[in-house]
Amino acid sequence: MMSIILFVFSGFCCGILSRLYGLGGGLVINPTLLYILPLVGIPNDDVYQITISTTLTIMLVNSAINGRQSLKKENVPNDVILHPILYILLGCLLGCIFIIYINKNIGMIFFVIFVTIINLSNYMKSSKFPRVKSLAIRSVICGVISSWVGGGSSLMMYSYLQREKSFSSRLSSIICNRYNVVIAIFCISVYHLLSGNIVIQHVFFNVYIDAVIYILMGSIMGSYFATWLESKPFMLYKNTFYKLILMVINIAVIYKLATLY
């Protein structure tokens, strides 16, 4: 029962962060699953892989819904999808192979680095961070990051589409949703093919089904709650809350990583 409550609560937080800040669910879902899965009987050796596959499944559902709704009003140019997608999938493949055959904890290590960079960017000018101008390199990095942290393409591709392609925020979001659907299906399939199906109750295709259901339920509630918050005095403290959440996530994952060594 406690695990269900925690899944719903993490989804609730995801819905709030997505609505208020446009953040992907992986920032909250990953740490939540890393702590909860061992409590529901998932062996430590399988925790990270199931975490990534579950996070990617949730991203797949959200991106498919958002992409389908958006495509009714926007006509996305196919060449923008097809050109970088092969590089993105190459990055996904390399990332999956690294996780399966070399170091299962590299994804968690990178997740710590990833959140730390986001934290630092809140206190430093964006110009301090180098830009990757090559579409091919950017796309490969996007694929590797997605396979390691269960995240989407927004981190690497959203700003590129706006800056280099002069696309609107809405159109860039639609394209990233399309990337996310492909990324999720590909990474989940590769993880399954390379490592085989993990035979555990409630786990199918290396995805913890209960977590997907309850986190999505919580996400819907969180999104509605965030809509209500937008009209409240809370918005005066929006940036402070954002920084606090990222710091808590960073500390939680660092602690979890430290317990593995």
Q: 172-193 pLDDT, tens per residue?
A: 777 887 888 899 999 999 988 9
Report the pLDDT value the prediction gives residue 233, as an integer from 0 to 100.
73
3-state helix, strand, coil in the chain (%, to 5): 80, 0, 20
Report the pLDDT value the prediction gives residue 246, as an integer from 0 to 100.
75
Residues 112, 249 contacting (CB under 8 angstroms): no
Return the structure tokens found at 248.
């808590």
Angle in degrees, CA 216, 42, 3, rounded to 5: 45
Report the pLDDT value the prediction gives residue 127, as an integer from 0 to 100.
47
Dmax over Cα atoms in the chain, in whole Å?
50
What separation in angstroms does the CA of 31 have from each of 149, 226, 254? 10, 21, 10
Say how many CA atoms lie within 13 Å of 181 toward its Cβ.
Answer: 14
Name the range with the highest mean pLDDT among 61-70, 142-151, 237-246. Answer: 142-151
Query: What mean pLDDT comes out for the span 4-29?
Result: 77
pLDDT digits (tens, 9 = 90+) for 23-63: 656 777 888 888 888 888 888 888 888 888 999 998 888 77
What CA–CA distance (Å, rounded) separates 69 from 57?
19
Report the pLDDT value the prediction gives residue 132, as an integer from 0 to 100.
67
Residues 42, 208 contacting (CB under 8 angstroms): yes
Mean pLDDT over all residues of the chain? 79
Residues in the chain: 261
pTM for this one? 0.82
**Predicted confidence (pLDDT) at residue 92 exceeds the cutoff of 90:** yes
Query: What mean pLDDT comes out for the span 188-213?
Result: 85
What CA–CA distance (Å, rounded) separates 253 from 43?
18
Residues 84, 139 contacting (CB under 8 angstroms): yes
Query: What mean pLDDT comes out for the span 117-139?
Result: 68
**Predicted confidence (pLDDT) at residue 141 exceeds the cutoff of 80:** yes
**Predicted confidence (pLDDT) at residue 128 exceeds the cutoff of 60:** no
Name the range with the highest mean pLDDT among 64-68, 138-142, 166-170, 219-223. Answer: 138-142
> Residue 245: exposed, middle, or buried by beta-carbon count in 10 A (0-12, 13-18, 19+)?
middle
Residues 132, 163 contacting (CB under 8 angstroms): no
Q: b/e per residue, 16-29, with b = 16+ CB within 10 A?
A: bbbbbbebbbbbbb
Residues 77, 125 contacting (CB under 8 angstroms): no
Return the structure tokens found at 49.
């892989």
Instruction: Compute how many other C-beta atoms are within 10 angstroms of the C-beta atom of residue 45.
Output: 9
